[in-house]
Amino acid sequence: MVGRLRCRVKRQARARSTVVAGRNLYDTVSAALGTKDNVTTESLAEGILARDQRAIARGITLVENGSTEGLMLIRGLFGRGGRAQIVGVTGAPGVGKSTLVDCLTSEWRRRRRTVGILAIDPTSPFSGGAVLGDRIRMQSHAGDSGVYVRSMASRGHLGGLAQATNDATVILDAAGHDVVIVETVGVGQGEVDIARTADVSIVVMVPGAGDDVQAIKAGIMEIADIFVVNKADRDGADRAVSEIEAVMMLQAYEEGEWRPPVFKTEAAHGTGVTALLDAVEMFAERHDHDGDRMRSRAEVRLREALSHQFVSRLERHEEIRAAIEEAVQRITRRDVDPHTAAAEIMERSG
């Protein structure tokens, strides 16, 4: 009842936070357009370490744009982080991820934790634009200096995460946020990248939408540390929980190994959110400094950086750019397959 009332109060406060939200939005846009006073990478890093929201906005914009300044910024901040708990929230469209994140944030703030939120929105394959609407659902925290919300476009990246997400988590971590929530694009089974980024992965489902079948398929079952059946006031919620638990019984768990629990929530009313957060913190305590997970995350980040830098270095050479364009034309005409064309370009690159 307390959680339900709290979320209702938060939602009623949204109308009163419009002016503050507009000011925060102006700061973010100004940072992206560079209309504020120019600052050096060093002073920007100092602002981020001081949890200055404008500096954080500028820093994330730099890494989103893939600029050299962004790389220098991450180089300076990487060693200053490592303390934040990274929580991934994923699930199909319409399951209530943003509302659930909103209520989880309220509960974390009640426990005096600072929270950074990265909401990844899908990018149009035609226009390249993104709605970035998840931030609208979280305006109840617009006036809270202990919460930072940033929407990011996936820019066509598969797996549900924007390419710059890892760097953005580094910035929010270095800024001193206790918790960094990554809400991923609602594309269902493809959202397996979150398991390589987050300390704990929450998979959100709803009853009566075929999610029980999706859970059985490869990918989703393997990435979940915690399952949530949201909108549990709907018919079929108990059945959905039973079917998820039945699927998990097919897997063998060693003694003492974490077995993903299943929670029923009504995020719109705050019901079940406190118990869910208790489970998240319990998981974090049991897996604090998990060497295997930390090593896996480090390997993923290194491979992504190598891939990005390698392709960027290739494209800086005019001869290679011409070879790539020629290869595209040949593949289009089906004169050569992509693998052979790639091998030829690699040989020419030396």
Q: What is the dihedral of CA 189, 150, 18, 1, to 10 degrees?
A: 50
The CA distances from residue 65 to 45, 174, 271, 334, in Å, are 17, 20, 39, 34
What DSSP state is assigned to residue 123? Answer: P
Tokens read off for 91: 């699930």
pLDDT tens digits, one per residue of 5-40: 555 545 444 433 333 333 343 344 344 434 444 568
The one-letter amino acid code at 49 reads L
Query: Which residues, in sequence order, are CB contacts of 236 under 8 Å at separation 6+?
Result: 207, 208
> What pLDDT, on the 0 to 100 scale, is given for residue 222?
73
Tokens read off for 103: 């209520």
Using CA atoms, how far apart are residues 322 and 227, in angstroms rounded to an integer?
49
| Bridge partners, 271 (sequence order) | 266
Domains in the chain with CATH codes: 2-289 (3.40.50.300), 295-349 (no CATH)
- In what helix (H) or strand (E) does residue 91 lie, and over which residues does it extend? strand 85-91
Q: What 3-state DSSP class applies to 89?
A: strand
The one-letter amino acid code at 103 reads C
What DSSP state is assigned to residue 235? Answer: T
Region 149-176: mean pLDDT is: 78
- In what helix (H) or strand (E) does residue 205 lie, and over which residues does it extend? strand 200-205
pLDDT tens digits, one per residue of 232-269: 999 989 998 988 888 888 777 888 888 899 999 999 89
Tokens read off for 60: 């994330």
Q: Which residue has the tokens 């077995």?
A: 259
> What pLDDT, on the 0 to 100 scale, is given for residue 307?
83
Instruction: Report the relative pairing of strands 115-121 and 200-205 from DSSP bridges.
Output: unpaired
> What pLDDT, on the 0 to 100 scale, is given for residue 229?
93
pTM: 0.79
How far from the centroid of its chain's Cα atoms is residue 165's Cα?
A: 6
Q: Which of 162, 211, 157 is nearest to 182 (CA)?
A: 162
